[in-house]
Structure 1
Amino acid sequence: MATEDATTIQDKNRPSEHFFVTLQTDEFTPELLRGDRLLIDPSITPNPGDFVIVQNRQNRRLDRYEGQAGVTGVVCEAVRTVPYGNGTAYPTNVIRALLKAGHGEGNFRIDEDGAIYVFTLNVNETVQRWHLFGDIGAADTELRLDVLAAEFGEEEPA
């Protein structure tokens, strides 16, 4: 099940008929997680296996496309919000944009367990190497991201 957000998109590259829904189920884990904000594009023709919004008289639901009727839009982007220790959150695309701005393209990685690594030169070192930046969900990692956000801004990338 997905619920529609009141969010409207003010992006000149995306027509106004796009809308967001927030996923309210664990049914599509691991691809989509409860709480993911899904950008829906009603103008896309779905392919088998695409995540789609299906509307019937009673409700609107998320499903995989298998030729069923009632499709009102295709999921074209999922924004996962990563919660941090003090209750704030940065969407993962913003985390990546901040790491790219602060450390350069290709100089960071986030592993499947949520550990963030950056390729950098630390104090008293003469050679760049991979260092642990922090773990997603840890208060010290959020503070480091706050520093990057203050320096480079925290606007979502276009």
Structure 2
Amino acid sequence: MGLPGEPPGRPIEFDTVLKSALARGFHVLVCDEAQWMSRECFEYWRYLWDDPSTDIAVVFAGGDGCAKVLRREPMLASRIYIWQHAVPLTLPEVLKAIPAFHPLWAGVDRDLTALVDKQAAHGNFRAWARITKLAADGLAAQGRTSVDEHLLRQVYGRLGVGT
């Protein structure tokens, strides 16, 4: 959020700084792994959302059981506008999204991209992000610029994925 200076040491001071920043314009706050949040954490999210001076949207993302955990908090659940279940990308979606996601994939043959999805990513965007990071690191370390099967075997080895 680009807040200047050191964070305040006391919770009440931090709360004031945070709410002031959230009041300056619209913000989207993302809470990943929401299924692990405590009741007190959910109450704080609700408190920020309910404050008339803040202009925020909160996105709760999580794995198995996340919706169940969120629904256990009725004061929070009643404020959730959309419940969205994420499903893996289809192959046509992968072939469109992944080259747009990162320039590393822009010039890669569609058949090789499809093979990576079949062997390691399975339509999972988080898996694609991990593969992309490892591939980019591998290319940089080797002074190379393009993805090929040799590099992908190295990436798969780091992921513990067989080919």
Q: TM over 0.5, yes or no? A: no
Higher gyration radius (CA): 2
Higher helix share goes to which structure? 2
TM-score by length of 1: 0.27
Higher strand share goes to which structure? 1
